[in-house]
Structure 1
Amino acid sequence: MSGVYHWGSLAVQERVGVRGAAEHVGRSIGTGIRDVAAAFLELQPHLVVGAADGAGRMWASLLTGPPGFVRATGPHRIAVAGGVPAGDPLAEALATDGTRIGTIALDPRTRRRMRLNGTLGATSRGFAVEAEQVFANCPKYLQQRQPLELVAEGAGVVRRGDALTLGQVRAVRRADTFFVATTAEADGVDASHRGGLPGFVEVLSPVELAWPDYAGNAMFLTLGNLTADPRAGLLFPDWESGAVLQLSGRARTEFAADGGRRTRFRVESVVEAVHPGRLLWGTPEYSPHLGSTTR
């Protein structure tokens, strides 16, 4: 089963001592979109996508639309209507055939999530993705929320920079959820989720963040990608206002002698935006797993 993992993930699995568990979990990674996965996608009002821009910087972006804007159009293909708003760092990449892309659909209502990675093909109404990896993840560390209101208007990109402002620092420190896009070049792009209690992401400076790596499914796809390629893109959604904070930079994993791990991220570019067609969500019910997290 090691064929589903590249050398970076294998190296982390070996170092942590979870190769056996990873072999078992790896059997869930396929290329086909099952009926239950197709039904799940059609219910989702948003999709997180990860890719590299024209300069090679990694970004994670948020796409929104009425349920059905993401749907399976075949056993190995999804179609996404529309795209990212003007000014988004991935606007050009998501209109380019052959872009390697990672996606994650996460439903805060049910604490379910699904990841689909593959190759993009541009269409007249959006884009399609030919699936190379399709799999679900357990609900660990997902906060439960209910949608409150759909807001049609938006202001577009609010601010660009190369370091966090004071307001952005506060947003990161109160975050309980963010998404991370990583790559391993020829082995494609992956988009994943990180969750924790507010404050689990440390702001070490306006250009450096750190967060703990909690015990997960033993795949180590994100940490494996970072072993092979340090580029990463982060997306922090503001569930109450619908704003998004996107960071692009480089990351590395620190392994402690007691077995703990954390990731350090160096900010290189920042985009803050308020998108039209965004959902506002209610107060979170934190994951019960967060009471037993280890660093």
Structure 2
Amino acid sequence: MTATLKTLPAWHEGELFIQRKLGVAERMEAIGQRVIRDHMPDQHRDFYAQLPFIVLGSVDPAGDPWATLLVGKPGFLSSPTPTRLDIAAHAEPGDPAGEGMRDGDPVGLLGIEMHTRRRNRMNGILTASGSGFRVDVDQSFGNCPRYIQLRDFAYAREPAEPSNAAVEVLPRLDAAARAMVAAADAFFVATYADRAERRQVDVSHRGGKAGFVRVAEDGTLTVPDFNGNLFFSTLGNIVLNGKAGLVFVDYESGDLLQMTGDAEVVLDSPEIAAFQGAERLWTFRPRRILRRAGALALRWSFRKEGWSPNSLMTGDWTEAAARLQAADLSKSWRPYRVTKIVDETPEIRSFHLQPADG
């Protein structure tokens, strides 16, 4: 860690709030001391160096978080020391995450390898350099492989070539954006916490079966939170300030749908039990939405039998709605109509019924 950064307790009050609610705070205190590091182990340093992209979370001057992807050829990420990661890439013009990538800005990083399901996270302080920037480590930790679908990558163009992607500002989620979200089996989310000493930014992966994100008529997104590592980095940050930045990727076209807005954690709702695998929910209401067509130099193909076994054990919102409806019907009288009467014997008569409400 750089000399200017004081090592902080592993968990802040937002994370502790949820851990205490679940009765795991004492256990997580010991785990946090062991797995939240102020440096990258050699395994992580080697891992970053082989990646073709990295997910970055930043916070713009208005205090809104954004998530984005930076692409390069393997080797564009390098770690000269355990406390430093060099990134030979820049945010493209029009990428809103670039507004929070100035000297001294805190950023969050997620290295994820979709063809192996490996992933590691890090947050730290950005310093610009000629070829890109470096990040000095604040916190570094590993992540489990759950809910990551297997995808193989290929380059559609050289990463150094500008995409010339048109930046489309959407006043609300249009039909194409809604369809993209509704079909997604993954997205990335940036959040942050303002601690007494400094700001820490996090960016993480969320995955499930296609349809695991619900889009309401007013544009509100509802996301199930499945069983995980109990860190609650994302949800803990949301508890503190109610903000999040999401990016959805069209893996076939390289399009990005980026949003920032207001988020809320839901710990008590009948929808939690109705959604298979959900242990909590959180909602997101976008305030600013950008679509950047063909922004990424990478394309991904879904691998045969690439579904995460963990994703397949979860549900979707259609199933959840059916469960809620069935639960409601089980608690109420339902009208039926007689469609047929059959005299089986002189003593027995059968009545054939159908629900009157369809």
TM-score of the aligned structures, taking structure 2 as reference length? 0.78
Q: Does 1:282 align with 2:294?
A: no
Match of 2:211 in 1: 199
Q: Does 1:144 align with 2:150?
A: yes
Q: Does 1:77 align with 2:89?
A: no
Match of 1:105 in 2: 111
Q: Which amino acid aligns with 1:130?
A: D
Deviation at 1:292, TM superposition (A): 2.9
Match of 1:7 in 2: 13
Deviation at 1:91, TM superposition (A): 2.0
3-state SS of paired residue (2:230): coil
CA contact (8 A) 2:266 2:283 kept: yes
Tell me, which stretches of 5 or more residues in structure 2 are unaligned?
Answer: 1-7, 321-358
Q: Does 1:188 align with 2:197?
A: no
Question: Radius of gyration: which is bigger?
Answer: 2
Match of 2:173 in 1: 164
Equivalent in 219, 222, 233 of residue 210 of structure 1: 222
| Inter-CA distance 71–205: structure 2 relative to 1 (3 Å threshold) | farther
2: CA distance, partners of 1:18 / 1:291: 27
3-state SS of paired residue (2:107): strand
Deviation at 1:276, TM superposition (A): 5.3
Q: Which amino acid aligns with 1:291?
A: L
Task: Select the structure that is richer in strand.
Answer: 1
Deviation at 1:67, TM superposition (A): 0.8
1: CA distance, partners of 2:89 / 2:69: 12
Deviation string 1:5-45 (CA, Å, 9 cap, x unpaired) is 00110001011222244234322110111111111001111
What is the RMSD of the two structures over their aligned residues, measured on CA atoms? 1.9
Deviation at 1:93, TM superposition (A): 2.3
Where does 1:230-241 land on structure 2 (aligned, <5 Å)?
Answer: 230-241=242-253
Deviation string 1:235-292 (CA, Å, 9 cap, x unpaired) is 1111111111101001001112669310100110011113556111112411101233
Match of 1:44 in 2: 51
Match of 2:312 in 1: 291
Match of 1:133 in 2: 139
CA contact (8 A) 1:85 1:156 kept: no
Deviates more, 1:225-234 or 1:83-92: 83-92
Q: Does 1:179 align with 2:188?
A: yes
3-state SS of paired residue (2:150): coil
What percentage of residue pairs aligned between the two structures are identical?
Answer: 37
Deviation string 1:92-140 (CA, Å, 9 cap, x unpaired) is 322x111111110111011000101011111122111110110110101
3-state SS of paired residue (2:229): coil
1: CA distance, partners of 2:218 / 2:52: 32
Deviation string 1:43-75 (CA, Å, 9 cap, x unpaired) is 111111111112221100111111111111211
1: CA distance, partners of 2:91 / 2:29: 36
1: CA distance, partners of 2:227 / 2:23: 12
CA contact (8 A) 1:85 1:275 kept: no
3-state SS of paired residue (2:137): strand
Q: Which amino acid aligns with 1:79?
A: D
3-state SS of paired residue (1:156): coil
2: CA distance, partners of 1:275 / 1:128: 26
Equivalent in 35, 42, 46 of residue 35 of structure 1: 42
CA contact (8 A) 1:22 1:217 kept: no
Match of 2:283 in 1: 264
1: CA distance, partners of 2:93 / 2:257: 15
